[in-house]
């Protein structure tokens, strides 16, 4: 089933809303180490959680890009078709 763009403005807004998610996923948290937590065991557990959340966030960033690419590609394809059509009519 070929894709059909009916509302270019909303399609662009969809892509932008999804892509905006990557800003939220920029990793800006700080590691709470032994100096703050005061215990080796707690610091190790906190570090493990920190590492996994950090990696998970980068994986999600890629997922955001993948999802945002669908409307973006459709928009690009239609824009390209439109411009080629316009050129051929001239």
- Please say which residue, 7 or 90, places its beta carbon nearer to another protein: 7
- Please say which residue, 30 or 87, places its beta carbon nearer to another protein: 30
Measured CA to CA, the distance from residue 29 to residue 3 in angstroms comes to 40
Measured CA to CA, the distance from residue 78 to residue 6 in angstroms comes to 10
Q: Is 60 in the site for another protein (CB under 8 A)?
A: yes
CB of residue 33 to another protein, shortest distance in Å: 9
Measured CA to CA, the distance from residue 9 to residue 63 in angstroms comes to 23
Integer-rounded Cα Rg, in Å, for the chain is 22
Q: Is 85 in the site for another protein (CB under 8 A)?
A: no
Mask of contacts with another protein, 9-38, x by CB under 8 A?
-xx-xx--xx-xx-xxx--xxx-x--xxxx
């Amino acid at each position: 089933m070929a894709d059909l763009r009916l509302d270019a403005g909303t399609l662009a807004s969809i892509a932008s809303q999804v892509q905006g998610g990557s800003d939220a996923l920029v990793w800006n948290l700080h590691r709470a180490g032994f100096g703050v937590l005061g215990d080796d065991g707690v610091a190790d557990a906190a570090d493990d959680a920190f590492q996994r959340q950090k990696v998970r966030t980068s994986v999600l960033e890629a997922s955001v890009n993948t999802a945002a690419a669908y409307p973006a590609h459709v928009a690009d394809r239609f824009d390209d078709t439109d411009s080629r059509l316009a050129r051929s009519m001239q």
